[in-house]
A = this chain, B = another copy of it.
Amino acid sequence: MVEGPVTNGVVDAGAGALLRLMRDGRPRTRSELAAITGLARSTITQRVESLLGANFVVPVGEATSTGGRPPTQFAFNPAARVALSADIGATHARMAVTDLAGEILAEHRDDLDVALGPVPVLEWVVAESHELLARIGRTVKDLIGVGIGLPGPVEHSSGRPVNPPIMPGWDNFDVQAYLTEHLGVVALVDNDVNIMALGEHFTQWPAAEHMMFVKVATGIGSGLISHGRLHRGAQGAAGDMGHLQLPHGEDIVCRCGNTGCLEAIASGAAIAAKLTEQGLPAKSSQDVVALARGGSVEALHLVRQAGRDIGEVLAAAVSLFNPSIIVIGGSLSQAGEHLIAGVREVVYRRSLPLATQDLRIVQSRTGDRAGTIGAAVMVIDHALAPAQVETHIFS
């Protein structure tokens, strides 16, 4: 009998290394796989059998041959399992179910107040998971795992929020254990900006080695990709830029208690407050976008200035991190070209010439799906391409 290649929701090292190669979707024969990997033909046969048994690869068509029986080609089967993902925001939430290539098969968006606390929010996630799976005719048995993004600091390794400012009741709650218990699969938790960075990188810029994703919405944060891999930092706190200080903002008090924080000056919430002061009522980042799209000169002016302020902080980040691309996402990035124009204006002027010579600053292409795609990718990568620890190189 064929042994299953999955242990604890993660593909075993041997079959996993082969699957990692095959995820590009190209059909290959056993001989081609042996040639590419340098593995013995017998090892390839054994691992392909194992992957076939789990349905992770399937036979597809036949290769042209010089004679005799044509050899079978095998390809990755993205339909073998599905991933569930949830992107929880401050006041609304999105969920999706994707195939193993990160393609969304079904999705759902709802108003949901994260301040309700972990149990009501996660109950919603679990109920919606069953609903989404039913909609595409699958069950929890088809799940490879569930990924979730939360709007606050998260210790990724333990799956627990750490003193999240806008999430009362969530501090240190074991989100990972709750989801695993109620859905019976591996659960991974991260902050919302990290999963957006993953989603944008995986689907739009997979070849970018060093990338920075900036979310500008009610708050401001970023996610860093180093050598193609999410750089979470020692406590999972990397990418925090909302509370870096702007030199000219010393009289503006932030909700964190400090003064001059970027978030207190250039976030969607800050712009909404300024517009309201100017007699243009706005409560949220979305209201600012609506005003800007409607052609409000005041809104456009403030959005562009926010871009410049964000650019001041990004200029320093560019010198330090030297990404090849900066992707600007989050709801405020939907306000048109003005936000990104302000960012570009300052970054290209203020960062080191060497660091900006090939730097691209672009708008998010995944938009408000970045988070759900990224949370799915996080859990798919965990299952199919576990972090290369030393033992995996022998597989």
Which residues of A are in contact with B by a Cβ distance under 8 Å? 13-14, 17-18, 20-21, 36-39, 153, 162-163, 209-210, 222, 224, 226-227, 229, 231-241, 243-245, 247, 313, 316-317, 319-324, 352-355, 357-359, 388, 390-395
Given known contacts A227-B229, A237-B354, A393 and B390 CB-to-CB distance under 8 angstroms: no
In the complex the two chains form, is A393's CB within 8 Å of B391's CB? no
CA distance A394 to B234 in the complex (A): 30
**Residues on the B chain within 8 Å of A210, using CB:** 231, 233-234, 238
**Residues on the B chain within 8 Å of A226, using CB:** 226-227, 229, 231
In the complex the two chains form, is B234's CB within 8 Å of A324's CB? yes
**A300 shortest CB reach to chain B, Å:** 28
**Residues on the B chain within 8 Å of A239, using CB:** 320, 322
Q: Which 7 A-B pairs have the closest CB atoms?
A: A233-B322, A234-B324, A37-B394, A247-B247, A238-B322, A226-B226, A237-B355
Which of B313, B322, B359, B390 interacts with A20 by CB under 8 Å?
B390
**Residues on the B chain within 8 Å of A222, using CB:** 320
In the complex the two chains form, is B163's CB within 8 Å of A231's CB? no
Copy number in the complex reads 2
In the complex the two chains form, is B235's CB within 8 Å of A322's CB? yes
CB-CB nearest in chain B for A248:
B247
Given known contacts A393-B388, A395-B38, A320 and B241 CB-to-CB distance under 8 angstroms: yes
In the complex the two chains form, is A359's CB within 8 Å of B317's CB? no
In the complex the two chains form, is A235's CB within 8 Å of B17's CB? no
**Residues on the B chain within 8 Å of A13, using CB:** 38
* Sampled A-B contacts (17; CB under 8 Å): A13-B38, A20-B393, A21-B394, A38-B391, A210-B234, A226-B231, A227-B227, A234-B322, A234-B324, A237-B354, A237-B355, A239-B322, A240-B319, A241-B320, A245-B247, A320-B320, A394-B395
**A108 shortest CB reach to chain B, Å:** 31
**Residues on the B chain within 8 Å of A354, using CB:** 153, 162-163, 235, 237
CB-CB nearest in chain B for A211:
B234
**Residues on the B chain within 8 Å of A241, using CB:** 319-320
**Residues on the B chain within 8 Å of A17, using CB:** 393-394
Given known contacts A355-B235, A395-B38, A317 and B319 CB-to-CB distance under 8 angstroms: no
CA distance A13 to B395 in the complex (A): 12
**A49 shortest CB reach to chain B, Å:** 17
CB-CB nearest in chain B for A234:
B324
**A363 shortest CB reach to chain B, Å:** 19
Which of B209, B234, B317 interacts with A323 by CB under 8 Å?
B234
CA distance A199 to B354 in the complex (A): 25
In the complex the two chains form, is B320's CB within 8 Å of A321's CB? yes
In the complex the two chains form, is B323's CB within 8 Å of A235's CB? no
Q: Besides the contacts A210-B234, A240-B320, what 19 more A-B pairs have beta carbons closer than 8 Å?
A: A13-B38, A17-B394, A20-B393, A209-B234, A226-B226, A226-B231, A227-B229, A227-B231, A231-B231, A231-B321, A233-B322, A233-B323, A237-B322, A239-B320, A241-B320, A243-B352, A245-B247, A245-B316, A388-B388
Q: Which one of A38, A222, A237, A353 has the greatest number of beta carbons of chain B within 10 Å?
A: A237
**Residues on the B chain within 8 Å of A358, using CB:** 234-235
Q: Which one of A354, A358, A390 has the greatest number of beta carbons of chain B within 10 Å?
A: A354
**A234 shortest CB reach to chain B, Å:** 4
**Residues on the B chain within 8 Å of A245, using CB:** 247, 316
CB-CB nearest in chain B for A256:
B352
